[in-house]
Structure 1
Amino acid sequence: MVTVGVSFFPTVFSSIFHRERPYQAVKFNSGRIPSIAPRFAMSIDRVSEEKQKERQSGWKEYLEQAKEFIDADGGLPRWFSPLECGLRLDNSPLMLFLPGIDGVGIGLISHHQKLGRIFDLWCLHIPVADRTSFTDLVKLVEQTVRSEYQRSPNRPIYLVGESLGACLALAVAARNPNIDLVLILANPATSFSRSNLELLTPLLDALPGSLSPALPNILSLTAGGPLKTVFDNIIEGLPLLNSAREPIVDFTTFSSALHVLADILPKETLLWKLKMLKSASAYADSRLYAIKAQSLILCSGNDQLLPSQQEGQRLLQLLPKCELRKFNESGHFLFLEGDIDLVWVIKGTSYYRRGKYHDYVSDFIPPTPDEAKKAIEQYSLINNITSSVMFSTLEDGKIVKGLAGITSEGPVLLVGNHMLLALDVAPFLSKFYTERDIVVRAMAHPLFFRRKKSGKLPEVSFFDSLRVMGAFPVLSSNLFNLLSSKSHILLYPGGLREGFHRKGEEYKLFWPEQSEFVRMAARFGAKIIPFGAVGEDDLGQVVIDYDDLVKIPYFKSEIESLTNEIEQLRTGANGEVANQQVHLPGILPKVPGRFYFYFGKPIETEGRKQELMDKKKSQELYFEVKSEVERCIAYLKEKRESDPYRSILSRLLYQATHGPTSDIPTFEI
């Protein structure tokens, strides 16, 4: 293999690309990169995130780099690896990007840097003058997929396709059901027959001469008002143009450099691509039944070219192992919009894996500062309203404000009580990250990750930010693996029952009778830190609870329906902890108070593995932890009475006089 500024991978249709002036935008990163071991107690790579902050939109970068490809274009379709892709994690999976109708292959340009850290990224480039048929493109991608699968059969291969590229990915997946593929499909063109794009073909046929000279001169004025008025008048007078108006207006969003687009898609090429879209859509749609690959559909709500959200819902029903994410404000060219972060989406859906199955330990990549900031901003309402204050206990038993008593060295098991509707989770994770730079892995109910069936519960996408911050589903194997990796783990033994408690049950623990975590913690010498959390009763009061609702036939039926949407845990358990009925209680709001967290003195299990193998001994430690949690709750309930800033009104007044970012005092310890 040769590297001359840019390296391409030989396929049945292409050879290594040689040009007098090589592309400056891309190269092939050869060799395997040393692993970067994830560290769960600290964040990573702060400096490189600065470039991402500056990117408001990918259009400018796309148009600038596209010139380089057009100037040195020619030949047959081939692969390249972007220059921005530097060091990546060891054993990173291969990602193949399949472009849309433009064919340039740099549609992920805003994402190259971040993707390059966790994937071996290859992009397909289809030259402007190329006339390779869709079926031959399928064979080209298929050959690469099969070759790479033979080389690394235990790693998945990601196919990221937008529009036409999505059809290409679906076709390859249908023809190779036994290869481990992960499909990420943005606005798939399988809906072509139901779109207005078909109207463009006869329109282009009717236009005289080449499209290249005319298109930039006409549409470059769309940045101002005059052309828009003229354009509207022309369209209103011509029924065919009026029908085609929406797709044309979508293209006008990047009018500042339309001469580049006209070079990418001259009339003859655009006609060819539109005809290819039609055949690609039919080809892929007729083979959906054969697809077994894991799939993620990304659809835009403001796509003027294709009915993408309707198509996303249709594919969700037809494809196995499929999830859907909606971007209601986005247009057709999803990956070039500044507020779309593909790595965030992949992390948030738990779609990143380096083996046969997703591993919540080895496949977890700690959030970057920007990702953590984005997640914490999504919790900003509850964080600002509750102004959480935390206390911890030092080794000598002294109680201090803040988290100085929490050790940075794991494994650490943080065990406490759940407040109503799990309102405590967001402030908890936010404080640990911002104050101590610790990523706490929260053990969460499966409803945060999957559903048995769709219904009235919030969509799984609602919890994507929690997964980016490290949440993982309740499984003993997950807890085992996280303890072995020396993580900080958040555990609520009361689970769903505590999170959906009844009237008068604030701060009452509903823990299982048997110790579920003590012996496992002792096996790895983990520190168990009991904690208490209070404050929900200062936000609202439960006035209608489960016991009231089940007496009304309609609500009883709704509760059963909601409960049936999720997987049940602890089905073999006894007592109240086994009662996992999902319901929304009636809550009377109050003038918001404050959340308080108190972490007791760590309980050491190091060196007690054999001792705690005894059932009686482990049970004694279990009850010790539980009683310590109850003591922490009682301490906070008493001490908060003397907090002059317990009410949001007093806190707002304090911030008005001391600054909005000032640290608000609390009660004296």
Structure 2
Amino acid sequence: MADTVAVVVTTGSLPIFRPNISPANGRLKLKTVKFSVSLSLTSRRSEQKPTATSVSEDGLFEKKHEPETVPKRYGDSEIEQRLSLKDYFQLSKDLIRSDGGPPRWFSPLECGSRLNNSPLLLFLPGIDGAGLGLILHHERLGEIFDIWCLHIPVMDRTPFTDLVKLVERTVKSENYRSPNRPIYLVGESLGGCLALAVAALNPDIDLILILANPATCFGKSQLQPLIPILAVMPEQLHLSLPYVLSLMTGDPLRMMRATVEKGLTPLQTVEELSQGVVALSSYLSVLADILPRETLLWKLQMLKSASEFANSRLHAVKAQTLVLSSGRDQLLPSLEESERLRWALPNCQIRKFNDSGHFLFLEDGVDLVTIIKGASFYRRARWLDYVSDYFPPDPSEFKRIYEPYRWMETATCPVMLSTLESGKIVRGFEGIPSEGPVVFVGYHMLLGLELVPLVSHFWLERNIVLRGIAHPMMFMKLREGKLPDLSSYDTFRVMGAVPVSGVNFFRLLSSKSHVLLYPGGMREALHRKGEEYKLFWPEQSEFVRMAARFGAKIIPFGVVGEDDFGQVFLDYDDLMKIPYFKAEIEDLTEEAVKLRTDIDGDVGNQDVHLPIVLPKLPGRFYFFFGKPIETEGRKQELRSREKAHELYMEVKSEVESCIAYLKEKRENDPYRSIFPRLIYQATHGFDSEVPTFEL
């Protein structure tokens, strides 16, 4: 098993978590032990003993590096004990039993064995200072990051500027050690100000900031009036403050609703709700211990100075930044602040969580790994590589992504057909090669309606991730305006979409991926009236020679069903005749990256617009994957433009044949309409496969 280093720094007796690993299966079981050292550095190897190192005067540690071993694959870990909000409360109690000392870094043991060349992630805590704010995310984050968390003891009174120096020293030291890897600063509240301050002072270091409800808007906070009150408040009245500060954990009603929506049995739901109520009530006493009056007063004063310090230096921040803002933050106006930061910082994106409270990372249903991947913020070098930096979703991640789209499965009940090497047509994906590289080349239905069932069925039935070649406007905008926010496309990026480019296509094929390609692009997906199932492909054989270079199999496919789902009411030509829509289309097109600018006619750069479609009573989607076309051994042959064009036209003809086959065959499907399908499922079970036409 690969190394996972866990570090706990203390100056006294402090409970830490040491792994107890079964040699038989390598699964981790957490066990609490008492340990009194200056620093404990424990390696999660079943045959190695813990090692130790010394602590420097500034509270930093130096790690003894050992030879790297082969890491486990991302998402492979079996979590035997999943941490929860209750664990956060308990571990916070354990941490504050320390007898003080300076701020220090620690690496949680449950972070797991990370990948080679994982970037460093420094977690900068909020007002609590415990450093456990990412506890619900440690397991997954630890697989792709080297995580250090900053712990600020309860009685510590280190000024904000000295905290900045501490983090800055760490950043400079680690950048010197690994200059080609980025360093992530994940800060919540106070930690957000700390991250911005460090980034402003180090513009030449490759930093990536992830800020959760940063306290840069403390001047507008409901906490600011507490400063003069706390200064004169009798000690006995302080006991009521934890109740106010418990709002930081989020909306209790939302937590209860999230529990109910899990689909548990009534008994399990009642049990989980009861445990949640007990955990929340216990947090009041934990907060009283973490934030006694004098500590709370100190932290609030620090928030004020931190906000002023960070805001005065925003102009110097060059780092790539992702701001996460909660809509129900009772302590800070976080939604408003995220918009201000987006305009103030040159390289900033935001993600909004309208139903969440101040402590975003402690809320059920918020997955930081998915957020980072969806925003295309995970990279292990100075530049993002959409192939080598990509990790497929794990089962739980895919489930969260897929659930909102399950209605499409019910509405369209897709039929998947593939072709064996013998030419026999079968239902399912038996004719699809398991090993890549494979290029799926097909027809793009109206509005790309086929994408959800297509990608999800490949993942569910064959564990294949289709890496879609997508329009660049899903990844960047030339300017802010009327185009959908980039967050609208997070799901596509998590599921493997990459921006169209020759370099990305090359890298996908070289990594033996299954690539999804639509030569018709946006022109095909936004077609006019009467253009259903018509291909709009460029004349050039754009992908054939590249596929031959890697010996990739080309699988032509057709899909039909859009005309049973909706009908174009106003198309591009209609909209351009209406002044209001014409102006909107021109504005949208100016914001998007241009493609195929050197091609004239229909397949050239397409204006960005959204046709108005009248919905129909849902019919059924049909997919037909033709016989794989081999390019292995044809690299020299297909260097000829004429030969490559012949194969290109063969692929196009096969796609048209697949569409024609489906259009003819679906006429004999007794379950083409939604009502016969629902009746069948009601009598045979809603998980049963609905029959279709005879093959």
Do both proteins adopt the same fold according to a TM-score greater than 0.5, normalized to the shorter chain?
yes
Change in CA separation of 1:617 and 1:332 when aligned onto 2, cut-off 3 Å: same
Q: Which residue identity is paired with 1:402?
A: G
- Would the alpha carbon gap of residues 661 and 428 (structure 1) be closer, same or farther in structure 2, given more than 3 Å must change? same
1:398 alignment counterpart: 424
Tell me the residue number matched to 2:456. 430
Within 2, Cα distance between the matches of 1:86 and 1:520? 39
Quote the offset at 1:201 in angstroms. 1.0
Q: Distance in 2 between matches of 1:540 and 1:117?
A: 44
Question: Which residue does 2:323 correspond to in 1?
Answer: 297
Give the one of 623, 634, 639 matched to 1:613: 639
Question: Any idea what SS the aligned residue of 1:406 has?
Answer: coil
Shift of 1:493: 0.4
Q: What residue in structure 2 maps to residue 228 of structure 1?
A: none
Q: CA deviation at 1:456?
A: 2.8
The answer to whether residue 170 in structure 2 is matched with residue 177 in structure 1 is no
Q: Could you give the per-residue CA deviations for residues 29-67 of structure 1, whole angstroms, max 9, x where no partner exists? A: 5646435486xxxx952733x755xx6xx4212101101
Rounded to whole Å, the distance in 1 between the matches of 2:427 and 2:81 is 36
Matched, 1:417 2:443: yes
Quote the sequence identity (%). Answer: 64
- Partner of residue 572, structure 1: 598
Match of 2:374 among 317, 339, 348: 348
The 5 Å alignment of 1:213-612 reads: 254-612=280-638
Alignment match, 1:7: 7
1:20 counterpart residue number: 13
Superposition deviation, residue 86 in structure 1: 1.6
State the distance in 2 between where 1:394 and 1:412 align: 15
Following TM superposition, by how much is the alpha carbon of 1:383 offset from its aligned partner in structure 2, in angstroms?
Answer: 2.5
| Contact map agreement 2:14 2:94 (CA 8 A) in 1 | no
8 Å contact kept, 1:33–1:88: no
Q: Residues 238-263 of structure 1: CA distance to partner in whole angstroms, max 9, x if unpaired?
A: xxxxxxxxxxxxx9993333111111
1:535 and 1:216 map into 2 onto residues whose CA distance is: 58
Q: How many Å separate the matches in 2 of 1:449 and 1:538?
A: 31
Question: Please, which moves more after superposition, 144-153 or 420-429?
Answer: 420-429
Q: Which residue of 2 aligns with 1:246?
A: none
Q: What is the alpha-carbon distance in structure 2 between the residues aligned to residue 213 and residue 586 of structure 1?
A: 59
Q: Is the 8 A contact 1:34 1:89 kept in 2?
A: no
In structure 2, do the counterparts of structure 1 residues 345 and 32 end up closer, same or farther at CA, with 3 Å as the change threshold? farther
> Secondary structure in 2 aligned to 1:502?
coil
Asked if the contact 2:72/2:113 (under 8 Å) is kept, the reply is no
Q: Which of residues 152, 157, 178 in structure 2 aligns to 1:131? A: 157
Q: Per-residue CA shift, 1:61-98, capped at 9, x if unaligned?
A: 21011011011241000000001012111100000000
Structure 2 residue matching 1:325: 3-state secondary structure: strand
The 1:571–1:51 alpha-carbon spacing in structure 2 relative to 1, beyond 3 Å, is farther
Give 1:633's aligned residue.
Answer: 659
Matched AA of 2:652: K
Q: 1:91 to 1:46 in 2, by over 3 A?
A: closer
State the shift of 1:375 in Å: 1.7
Alignment partners' CA distance in 1, 2:149 and 2:513? 36
1:167 counterpart = 2:193: yes
Distance 1:459 1:46 in 2: 33
| CA deviations over 1:220-242 (Å, ceiling 9, x no partner) | 9xx9xxxxxxxxxxxxxxxxxxx
Query: Structure 1 217/514 Cα, relative in aligned 2: closer, same or farther at 3 Å?
Result: closer
Counterpart of 2:206 in structure 1: which amino acid? D
**Residue 200 and residue 255 in structure 1: after superposition, are their counterparts in 2 closer, same or farther (change >3 A)?**
farther
Matched residue SS, 1:543: strand
Deviates more, 1:368-377 or 1:132-141: 368-377
Match of 1:47 among 78, 81, 93: 78
- How far apart are the structure 2 equivalents of 1:528 and 1:64? 55
| Structure 1 alignment gaps of length 5 or more | 9-15, 224-250
- Which residue in 2 is equivalent to 1:200? 226
For residue 443 of structure 1, give the secondary structure of its aligned residue in structure 2.
Answer: strand
Distance in 2 between residues matched to 1:6 and 1:432, nearest whole Å: 38
CA contact (8 A) 2:418 2:430 kept: yes
| TM-score of the aligned structures, taking structure 2 as reference length | 0.86
Q: Tell me if structure 1 keeps the 8 A contact 2:89–2:279.
A: no
Moved more, 64-73 or 475-484: 64-73
Report if the CA contact (8 A) 1:173-1:293 is conserved. Answer: yes
Query: Mean alpha-carbon deviation: is it higher for 479-488 or for 381-390?
Result: 381-390
Equivalents in 1 of 2:625, 2:658: separation in Å?
Answer: 7
Contact 2:15 2:95 in 1 (8 A): no
Question: Does 2:133 correspond to 1:107?
Answer: yes
Q: State yes or no: 1:645 paired with 2:671.
A: yes
Three-state SS of the structure 2 residue aligned to 1:160 is strand
Q: Distance in 1 between matches of 2:75 and 2:164?
A: 39
2-structure distance, mates of 1:105, 1:218: 21
Task: Report which stretch shifted further, 126-135 or 559-568.
Answer: 559-568
> How far off is 1:453 after superposition?
2.1
Report deviation, 1:195.
Answer: 1.5
Q: Equivalent of 1:34, from 65, 69, 74?
A: 69
What displacement does 1:665 show?
Answer: 1.0
Task: Note the alpha carbon deviations across 1:483-521, whole angstroms, 9 max, x for none.
Answer: 000000000000010011000001100001000000000
> Residues 211 and 266 of structure 1 are in contact (CA less than 8 Å); yes or no, is this contact kept in structure 2?
no
Q: 1:218 offset after TM fit, Å?
A: 10
Aligned twin of 1:145: 171
Could you state the TM-score of these two structures normalised by the residue count of structure 1? 0.90
SS in structure 2 of the partner of residue 578 of structure 1 = coil
CA distance in 2, matches of 1:478, 1:356: 17
Shift of the 217–586 alpha-carbon distance from structure 1 to 2, 3 Å rule, reads closer
Q: Read off the aligned partner of 1:367 and give its amino acid letter.
A: P
**Greater shift in the superposed pair: 581-590 or 306-315:** 581-590
Aligned with 2:325: secondary structure? strand
Cα distance between partner residues in 2 of 1:74 and 1:552: 70
| Counterpart residue type for residue 78 of structure 2 | V
Tell me whether 587-596 or 617-626 shows the greater mean CA deviation: 587-596
The residue identity in structure 2 corresponding to 1:382 is M
Instruction: Give the whole-Å Cα distance in 2 for the aligned partners of 1:502 and 1:582.
Output: 13
Note if contact 1:6-1:22 (Cα within 8 Å) is conserved in structure 2.
Answer: no
- For 1:124, what is the secondary structure of its paired residue? strand
Runs of 4+ in 1 over 6 A off after TM superposition: 216-220
- SS of the counterpart of 1:268? helix
Contact 2:11 2:98 in 1 (8 A): no
CA 1:71–1:435 in 2, change beyond 3 Å: closer, same or farther? same
1:74 — aligned with what? 100
**Distance 1:338-1:96 versus aligned 2 partners, 3 A rule:** same
Q: Aligned pair 1:655/2:654, yes or no? A: no
- What CA deviation, in whole Å up to 9, does each residue of 1:377-415 have, x standing for no partner? 132232321111110001111100001100111000000
2:138 is equivalent to residue 98 of structure 1: no
Whether the 8 Å contact between 2:111 and 2:141 is mirrored in structure 1 is yes
Residue aligned with 1:514, SS: coil
Distance 1:81 1:44, change over 3 A: closer
What is the Cα-based RMSD across aligned positions, in Å? Answer: 2.3
8 Å contact from structure 1 (residues 536, 595) kept in 2? yes
Structure-1 separation of matches of 2:245 and 2:579: 61
Instruction: Figure out how many residues of one structure are paired with residues of the other and give that number.
Output: 622
